[in-house]
A and B are shown apart, each in its own frame.
Chain A
Amino acid sequence: MSESLKAKMDAILTATGARGCVECGKCVAACPMVEMYPDFRWEMSPRGIIRRALTDDDLLQDPAIWCCTGCNAGTDVCPEGVSCRDLIQGLRRLAVETGRDDQIRPCAICGTPFVPRPVEAFVQARLGHPAGDYLATCAVCRQHRYARHNAGAPSLRPDQQQEQRKHDAG
């Protein structure tokens, strides 16, 4: 691991308070991943991720950091105030910087990465039906696309719209 990466890792660990982790396991008890993945293990649990981040193994290459949904449950219950969500987000950012971006799904419209593939796989499996196109779009694009399909006639007449535009511009 390069020096700059190490420095960034240190910054993340400090900012999220991960060094304060006492391994009580409350975050694991609250973590929804237990329900989501049948092969839930220590390596992908919040406690495991924190420990592995501290012990500096090659965590960034491990797909386990992409299983988290980014919820707030672990942070809410942590007695030491460790923000495991921010930690995971920081780790993922570092992982993308080191070139490992194959585990996150970019939105089909705007291209913003928005959902890790394991989470997407879980959603698809739960929905059961051959999940449609919409699962490939991020929330904002999805809302706009739905609105375009369903908004009827424009609420302003064309001349009113022009006035509005002039008004906005001027």
Chain B
Amino acid sequence: MLDRANGVETMITMEELRPRTGKRKLPRRPPVMLFDPARCTGCGECVTACANRHSLEDGPAVAAIRVLTAEKDGRNFAIYCQHCRDPLCMAVCPTRAIAKGEDGIVRIERRLCTDCGLCALACPEAAPLKDPETGRVEKCDLCNGDPACVKQCPEKALKLTRGKAFGWIRLLRWPVQALAFFLLVMVFVGTFCYFRAGAVNLACPTGFLQNLASSRTLWLTGLGSAAILMVLTLLLGRVFCGWICPFGFLLDLVGKVTPTFGLPRFLKNRMIKYGVLAGAVGASAGLGFQPFCTVCPIGSLCRSYGPNGLLAGVQMAIFPAVAALEVGQRRSWCRYFCPVGAVLALAARMGLIKIVIGARQCKKFSCMQCADICPTGIIDREALREGISPKIPMAECLMCLRCVDQCPYGGAKIRFRWQKTAPGEEALPAAPPPPAGQAARP
């Protein structure tokens, strides 16, 4: 097959035989089977229905679904293929027998499958079932869109759905952001840093802290107006960042059109923003004026427009430069650097509400759309891969509600912080140390 001695390459590679299909466009709402553990009684009708879905001539009667019953508490759970958006089994199959069809269904091509079981190894749920006796690997193909198990389930614990996202929160957020931008930048020129409209005082809490440090005087009006945002954050999380901040709106717009290339590692530390905050306050205390406020991108954006154009030439360049960070990651400024966000994060940490991802309906590793759209990237993919609900650090969450809005299955929710949610992580027993003489593969 390979004439190495003469240096002639005659071997046909797998790439030539069965080239990988590139990233094909997936159907927006592929069919998906949902399982409700609260309804399941563990009767096993689905297994029977699945095993009998083909006539016996087509192959042995093997089910592609398995019902597990916990001995401890009698909870039932059905293991079946979730038809991932980005199937891990497809990546490892050495014969490339697994393919995702245009209808979103992941199928094993029987002709090519060698029953090696690597797909089951790669699957976080071990959903391709390898029969211990025959060694045959069986995986759900959704009966090509009309699953027998769903029809047979007497308790309606299995449900075929295409999912439906809310979709309207987005239609609410963009106008609110645009309106806030319009008001703070164009109408109340002079910014939210010290914005006053009639009886309402709104002030930037970071600006207030710097003012306090530089003037060594506690202005009660300043305290009150800064407290408005803090109280809002305590109640609703960092909604200011996600819904009101004019610079955040600008970043969202820029992020719509720019690609992302990633940031160098030393910049990707969410603690930097607390350092910036401390530096800003400390510098004001030392210098007696507010140096950060003169370069603050949010403030300079607000001051850039209008008849009282308050900015000198250099200052005009600051917020576009910071907005250009968007080519690194989405909302890089808000993630890592923004001291205003840092103050609000301190409040959000103690806030009243939390975002919960991974409710019963969550499809975990097979979907992960929330992790894709989260502008701050705080949804833990590794946890989702383990089938665990990721913990959302509310200090970093912008409360943009993209995840809640876009989850097709209702797996992302807003909850009060004291409400109980999905079962937490359960650590594996410590892995045994690798044996001493572990040789490399020959």
> A residues near B, CB below 8 A?
30, 32-33, 35-37, 39, 41, 43-44, 62-64, 67, 69-73, 76, 85, 101-103, 106, 108-109, 115, 117-123, 126-130, 132-137, 139-140, 142-156, 161, 164
Contact = CB atoms under 8 A, between A and B. Distances in A.
Contacts of A119: 118, 121
B385 A143 contact: no
Contacts of A156: 41, 74
A155 B40 contact: yes
A144 B434 CA distance: 25
B110 to A, nearest CB: 12
Given A64-B442, A142-B125, A155-B39, A133 B70 contact: no
Interface residues of B, number: 62
Given A85-B135, A142-B124, A142-B125, A154 B118 contact: no
A134 B126 CA distance: 9
Contact of A133 (B38, B91, B125, B386): B386
A118 B441 contact: yes
Interface of B, helix, strand, loop or mixed by DSSP:
loop
Contacts of B130: 139
A143 B117 contact: no
B70 A136 contact: no
Contacts of B364: 150
Contacts of A134: 124, 385-387
B171 interface: no
A154 B423 contact: no
Contacts of B117: 69-71
Given A139-B126, A148-B426, A156-B74, A35 B91 contact: no
17 contacts: A32-B116, A44-B442, A69-B94, A69-B114, A73-B114, A76-B114, A102-B436, A119-B118, A130-B382, A134-B386, A135-B121, A145-B387, A146-B125, A148-B423, A150-B422, A153-B38, A161-B73
A118 B65 CA distance: 29
A30 B91 CA distance: 19
Nearest to A147: B77
Given A117-B441, A151-B70, A155-B76, 8 more contacts: A108-B431, A139-B130, A140-B126, A143-B79, A150-B360, A152-B37, A152-B360, A161-B73
A164 B381 CA distance: 39
Interface in B413-442: 422-423, 425-426, 428-429, 431-432, 434-439, 441-442
B221 interface: no
A106 B426 CA distance: 19
B75 interface: yes
Contacts of A139: 120-121, 126, 129-130
Interface string B126-160: 10011000011000000000000000000000000
A142 B442 contact: no
Contact of B124 (A117, A120, A146): A146
Counting chain A CB atoms within 10 Å of each CB, the highest count among B37, B364, B389 belongs to: B37
A135 B36 CA distance: 26
Interface in B188-214: none
B109 interface: no
A61 to B, nearest CB: 10
- A-B pairs, top 4 by smallest CB distance, nearest first, are A71-B116, A147-B77, A102-B435, A73-B114
B232 interface: no
Given A108-B431, A143-B68, A151 B122 contact: no
Contacts of A149: 386-389, 422-423, 425-426
Contact of B114 (A30, A120, A135): A30
A35 B114 contact: no
Interface in B20-36: 36
Nearest to B427: A133
B176 interface: no
A151 B387 CA distance: 11
A106 B389 CA distance: 27
Contacts of A154: 73-75
Contacts of B122: 123, 126-127, 135
A24 B74 CA distance: 53
A123 B76 contact: no
Contact of A101 (B125, B387, B435): B435
B126 to A, nearest CB: 4
B66 interface: yes
A85 B115 CA distance: 11
Contacts of B389: 149
A3 B289 CA distance: 91
B401 to A, nearest CB: 24
Given A85-B135, A155-B37, A35 B14 contact: yes
Interface in B51-90: 66, 68, 70, 73-77, 79, 88
Given A30-B114, A109-B428, A154-B75, A127 B92 contact: yes
A162 to B, nearest CB: 10
A39 to B, nearest CB: 8
A25 B364 CA distance: 43
B42 interface: yes
Nearest to B13: A35
A36 B441 contact: no
B95 interface: yes
Interface in B236-250: none
A102 B125 CA distance: 26
A128 B115 CA distance: 23
Contacts of A108: 428-429, 431-432
Contacts of B381: 129
